[in-house]
Each structure stands twice: as structure tokens, then as C-alpha cells.
Amino acid sequence: MPKVLINGVEKDVPVGTLVLDACEQAGIAIPHYCYHPVLSPVATCRMCMVEIKGMPKLATSCTTTVGPAPKDNPEGIAMEIITNSKAVADARAGVMEFLLLNHPLDCPICDQAGECKLQDYSYEYGSGDSRMGEVKRRYRYEDLGGKIVIDKNRCIHCTRCIRFTQEISGTHELTVAQRGANLEVTTYSGKSMDANPWAGNVVDLCPVGALTSRDFRFNRRVWYLKNIPTISRHSALANPIWADVDQNKVWRFRPRPTEGKTAVYFISDEERSACHDYNLKPETRLMKPSMKRVETSIVAIRAALQQAGPTAVIAQGVFGCDAAQRLGDLASKSEWRFGIGTKSYAIQLPKLQTHTDGIYNRRGFTERGFRFSMLDELEQLVKDGSVKALVLLYDAPFSNAKETERLKALIAAAPFSLVLESVASEIGDAATAGLPITTYLEENDFVTTHTGELRRYQKALEPPKGVKTVPLWVKELAKASAPVPAAV
Ligand code: SF4
Ligand code: FES
């Protein structure tokens, strides 16, 4: 591995490493706009320039790679990089002044404020001065369909958004039009971004506030948001995402590219908008243990379950592994753990989506003894009276109508049934008893994806009083039974 000298400090990096990455690995942040790890390099912004000994001019670190060590000295230094010289500082200040020529000073009303690279780099590397005497160019903001809004005044022409539509989504809606001072990023005439089911990614990619989300803009200042690592329940591989929360509400989902893979840099619009599903209103969610939807106590449900007799458990493979483990403990026989769920996803972008099976923790449940596609066997066990009680872990969107009908028939046939869910469903309505459980954003747990990756998610929201996680309810249900209360 060749050695490079970065600001006088030696570092070993593989041949072909980008100078920008080599510096990052050495703990030296290089400011950049147009560079993105999974988009092709274009070196248009010039913000990442560094000095490289032997080169006549500053070089863009996003397109320069580390070469091999000198032939006559394999142990020698392959490249000497300087990032803290006056020449580099002057170049950065010059680029900042240039990029800000036409940029409005509208940070107080800009949605990007607080996570804007122009703000950050201006503060850190800018000169604080401008020689711009002319009137800045002005555009009105435009809707690029119903999902994305563009404010061209703020655009710095990094072309990240364009390269996304060319190289990742393949939809080609965005382009640069005009030349010179009139250069603008726009859609081909009349084209909106609505037909692109991954359009929201251009908002994340835009390093300034030029592209904003119709759904999120002006809703919350980003410095109020707490970023909680979680997963997407709306992708077959449980994509790692951030849940940005404030005031016990989730305001947006964003990709959490922690694994260096192209797929995890982007999420679909379906995954993005799913954040709204988890801000449950008190009137829509279950809050108390119930029997036939009449409020009761956990003591009564526990007694009824324990008196019912042999128990089988059923769960969709979209809950956490901890929940699966605890729920499985309720089954009277180890083979009486049944996995269900029918959700699947069409492959829209093969580069990003490699699996269609939306039951994203199928592997985690299987590893804990749950058997999928075995409802026939359970139906027989209920029919012949071997199984007297059913405990279901359920979330309606993950079963299709056919599976829901089969579950309803099973519940009707079993002497006792208990459904654990967050929001009332027809399955819960049909069951003997119900327990209100937390949503996945209200608990800590983990899943094992179809590719065997373990993905943890953290508690982002506080559940309402009385609503508990599956492990806590199972603990309550497993306690020794108290005498059944005389009246409920
Ligand atoms: S809109 Fe944003 S991402 Fe697109 S070119 Fe302009 S600054 Fe870059
Ligand atoms: S990041 Fe290197 S030129 Fe833009």
C-alpha cells in the first residue's frame, strides 16, 4: 500500500484512492459540493482543491487519485498533499465568493438553513466579503410537479440532482439549460418529477436549498430535529434511515448511508412519505387491553389465555427479533410458531432494489422458529382442537385480502384469540381480546434482512401511557395466573 503525506502526516492508502477520501481517512475534512460517493465525478464546483507537490496548479481532490510509490523507492512517498496552505485557503475563499455571487441572502426563510453546505463552508472558508456590484439574477420558485420545488436563485450548479436522474433513477427529467451567467437547472419542457418514484432523493442531494420537498418545506426548522437511526419498513431490505423527530412527532425520513453501498444512499418516495403513518392520533390507535373491544385488564386477558389451553402464535415477519423471540415463548410447542405476511415490492430500480419480499424480517423470524407458509397446518390444528388459543402479532398493511380472510376464519374457529396491534384492524375486531402495542418507532429492536444483515433501530417516539412493547406484554401474559376477576 503506498504512503501519502497529508499536511506532513504519513498515511497508507490503496492505489487509486481519491485524494479527497484519503484526506477524510486521515481525519481532514475537504469541503465539496459536486462530489458524491456514488455519482460520477464532474469537478465543477472547484471547492475541493488541494495542493499536490509536483503539480503546477491546485488539483481537485474529488478527481485525483493516489498513484503507486516511486519505482525506485517502493517504500517512498507516493504523493504529498497539502490542504492547509495559503494557496488552498485563497482558492476556497475565491470559490465561495463566486458561488455566492447570485445566491440570495434568504437563509432566514430557506428550508435548508441549518444543514446548508453554503452556510457551513461560507462560515468556515469564505472571505466574508463580496465584490459583486451587479444586481443578482432572479427567478420565481417553480413546482417540478407535486413533490419537488426548485428555487433557481439558490442553485450552485453542482449537477448532483441531474446526475441522479441520469445515473440512478434513469428518468432524465433534469438538465442544465442556457450558458454562462444564465445557466439554470430545469426540467425538460413540461416535464414534472411526479412520475419518478424516487424523486425525493434530489432534495437530499442538493447541498443548498435549491431543491426542497413539498411535503417537508416550512414544516420544521432542522435544528429542532433529533436524528434517530432507524430502518425503513417500506423496503424489502429494511433500508437504514434517519427518523427526524421533534415534539414526539416524526417529521421526515431520510436515507442513512452508513454502509458505503449505493443502495443505502437513496430511498423511494414511498419510504419517505411513510413517516406520516407513525404519527398516530390518539383517536385512531389502541390504548388499553380489551375483550371484544371493551376495555379490560391484562389480568383478565392473561387468565383467559391461560385457561383457553394449548396456544399457537402467528406473526408477520415485519416486527423486531426481540418481539419474535418473546412472542415465540407463548407457543405451547416450538413448532406452533407461524410466520405470515404477503407484502411485496415491484423492482423499480434494479441498481437499488435487489429483493421484492416486503416481509423484511422473515429471516429473523425463521431463525426464531417461525415457519412461513404453513397456515394449512395451523388451520388443521385448530379444526381438530389441538390448538385452542391463538396469539397474533399483526399490522394490517403487511397481509393481503386473501391472507386476512384466512386469519379471520382461523380466529372464528379458535375458542380464544388475542391480537397484539397498534391500530384497530378487522382482525383485531374479530378476536376475543386485544393488546395495544408500540409502533416500531416507539421501541428498540433489530431485524435480520434477507441478505443476513443485522439492522438495529432505536426508540424515536414516546408511546402513549399504557401502550407497551411486545416483550413487555408477553412478560405480563406469562406471569402465573391470578384468579379471574368476578366481573370485568
Ligand atoms: S439544484 Fe441543487 S443539486 Fe441541483 S445543481 Fe442546483 S445546487 Fe446542485
Ligand atoms: S467536489 Fe471536487 S470539484 Fe466539486
pLDDT tens track for 357-374: 999 999 999 999 999 999
Question: How high is the pLDDT of residue 7?
Answer: 97
| pLDDT for residue 484 is more than 80 | no
If you measure from the C-alpha of residue 83 to the centroid of ligand 1, how many angstroms do you get, rounded to a whole number? 26
State the pLDDT at residue 262.
74
The whole-angstrom separation of Cα 434 and Cα 289 is 6
* pLDDT of 305 above 90: yes
Helix then strand then coil, % of the chain, to nearest 5: 30, 20, 50
C-alpha torsion sign, points 39, 44, 49, 54: positive
* pLDDT value of residue 488: 46
Count helices and strands in the chain by DSSP H and E runs: 13, 23
Measured from the Cα of 63, ligand 2's closest atom is 2
Q: How much is the mean pLDDT over the chain?
A: 95
Distances (CA, A) of 51 to 20, 57, 362, 409: 12, 7, 51, 72
Indicate whether 481 pLDDT > 70.
no
Q: Which ligand is nearest to the CA of 99?
A: 1
> Region 375-389: what's the mean pLDDT?
98
Residue 487 has pLDDT above 80, yes or no: no
Q: What is the mean pLDDT of residues 389-407?
A: 98
- The secondary structure of 269-323 as a DSSP string is HHHHHGGGGGS--TTTB--S-EETTEE--HHHHHHHHHHH-SEEEEEETTS-HHH
- pTM for the model stands at 0.93
> Do the Cβ atoms of 351 and 304 come closer than 8 Å?
no
Using CB distances shorter than 6 Å, the residues near ligand 2 are 32-35, 43-48, 60, 62
The ligand 1 atom at the shortest distance from the C-alpha of residue 33 is 8
SS3 65: strand
Angle between helices 375-383 and 401-413 (to 10 degrees): 20
Q: pLDDT tens for residues 173-195?
A: 999 999 988 999 999 876 899 99
Give the helix/strand (H/E) hosting 202: helix 201-205
Which ligand has the nearest atom to the CA of 211?
Answer: 1
Contacts of 10 (CB under 8 A, 6+ apart): 3, 4, 77
What nine digits make up the cell of 476? 405480563
Residue 443 has pLDDT above 80, yes or no: yes
Query: Is the model's pLDDT at 269 over the cut of 70?
Result: yes
Q: Ligand 1 centre and the CA of 95: distance in Å?
A: 16
Minimum-distance ligand 2 atom for the alpha carbon of 41: 2
- Per-residue pLDDT tens over the stretch 79-127: 999 999 999 999 999 999 999 999 998 999 999 999 999 999 999 999 8
Question: Cell 419537488 identifies what position?
Answer: 148
Q: Hey, whose CA ends up nearest to atom 3 of ligand 1? A: 206
Whether residue 480 is predicted with pLDDT greater than 80 in this model: the reply is no
What does the pLDDT look like over 50-69, one tens digit per residue?
999 999 999 999 999 999 98
Q: Of the residues 44, 118, 206, 213, which should be mutated to test ligand 1's pocket, given the most ligand atoms within 8 Å of the CB?
A: 206
> What's the CA-to-centroid distance between 31 and ligand 2, angstroms?
8
User: Ligand 1, from 35, 205, 211, 213: best to mutate by most atoms within 8 Å of Cβ?
Assistant: 211
- For 189-203, b/e burial (b = at least 16 CB within 10 A) is eebebeebbbbbbbb
Of the listed ranges 139-143, 375-379, 425-429, 480-484, the one predicted with least confidence: 480-484
Q: What is the structure's pLDDT at 485?
A: 53
Closest ligand 2 atom to 20 CA: 2
Spatial CB neighbours of 319, under 8 Å, sequence gap ≥ 6: 327, 361, 393, 395, 440, 445, 470
Cα distance between residue 217 and residue 251, in whole Å:
10
Q: Which domains does the chain have, with CATH numbers?
A: 3-94 (3.10.20.740), 101-117+134-218 (3.30.70.20), 290-478 (3.40.50.740)
Q: What is the pLDDT of residue 74?
A: 80
Q: Could you give the dihedral angle defined by the CA atoms of residues 427, 430, 434 and 440, in that order, rounded to the nearest 10 degrees?
A: 10
pLDDT confidence band for 2 (50 / 70 / 90): confident
pLDDT confidence band for 128 (50 / 70 / 90): confident
Comparing 429 with 181, which gets the higher pLDDT?
A: 429
Q: In sequence order, what are the residues at sequence separation of 6 or more whose Cβ sits closer than 8 angstroms to the Cβ of residue 432?
A: 291, 292, 304, 416, 417, 418
Query: If you average pLDDT over residues 391-415, what whole number do you get?
Result: 98
